[in-house]
Amino acid sequence: MSSPNPSEIVAGLERICGPDGAIPGDGPQARPLLHDTTEDEGIAGHADAVAFPSTAPQVAEVLAFCYENGLPLTPRGGGTGLAAGSVPGGGVLLDLGRLDRVRAFDGPQWRMEAEAGVSTADVQRLAREGGLLFAPDPGAREQSTIGGNIATNAGGPHAFKYGVTSRWVTGLEVAVAPGELMTVGGPLSKDVAGYDLVGLLCGSEGTLG
């Protein structure tokens, strides 16, 4: 099976994400998205297309599209990484910036449900306004996203006292191949039943979901 050409890829992604939900990977709009902070070291990527899903089901559909067509898929958060983890080597770049909603906040239960594109600063701000603390504090918190923090298991200076991001995550909604949404963990602060799938996904750099 031959892979679709770039224009066919963009058209397929637009059918999933809407007419403004995909752009060619070789255009001026895509260029700032093809690198992270390693650009200063001369590292930049290339992609056939960039997708901008705005819902979790759209993320799963993009994953299914790439799976069916044999296309590599690279997720991108805020682009603040130091290891080129979000730099694509072809295929589709999945920009998660439009998943920027806080779905729920329950102060008495110490619980927040945030989408992958919510900034670290917004998570910290909302927690603080509710009399709580979200301690992980990686660099560039206004630009870095909670999804990226989870993917890299980020920490920052506060990690010495409060632990890295995985210590603050009890549940995840993830898109997995061949294009399905899966929920692992949940609202419990302690759950010792079964495998620690949340811990496995934290720090997996998007390779598992």
Does residue 13 sit in helix, strand or coil? Answer: helix
Confidence at residue 189, expressed as pLDDT on a 0 to 100 scale: 67
Write out the chain's pLDDT in tens, 209 residues: 678 999 999 999 999 999 999 999 999 999 999 988 877 777 889 999 999 999 999 999 999 999 999 999 999 999 888 788 789 999 999 999 999 999 999 999 899 999 999 999 999 999 999 999 999 988 788 899 999 999 999 988 988 999 999 999 999 999 999 999 999 998 776 666 788 999 999 999 989 98
Question: Token pair of 111, please?
Answer: 């619980």
Do β-strands 92-95 and 49-51 pair in parallel, antiparallel, or remain unpaired? Answer: parallel
Position 86 scores a pLDDT of: 86
In Å, how far from its chain's centre is CA 29? Answer: 20
Name residue 181's amino acid.
L
Cα–Cα distance for residue pair 23/6, rounded to 1 Å: 10
**pTM score of the predicted model:** 0.92
> Which residues lie closer than 8 Å to 125 by C-beta, 6 or more apart?
none
Sheet holding 73-76, edge to edge: 22-24, 49-51, 92-95, 73-76
Q: What is the pLDDT of residue 1?
A: 61
Instruction: Work out the burial of residue 134: count CB atoms within 10 Å of its CB; fewer than 13 is exposed, 13-18 middle, 19 or more buried.
Output: buried
User: Any idea where the domains of the chain sit in the sequence?
Assistant: 6-95, 102-201
Domain 6-95 has CATH 3.20.20.140: no
| Fold of the domain built from segment(s) 102-201 | 3.30.465
Separation CA 33–CA 19 (nearest Å): 19
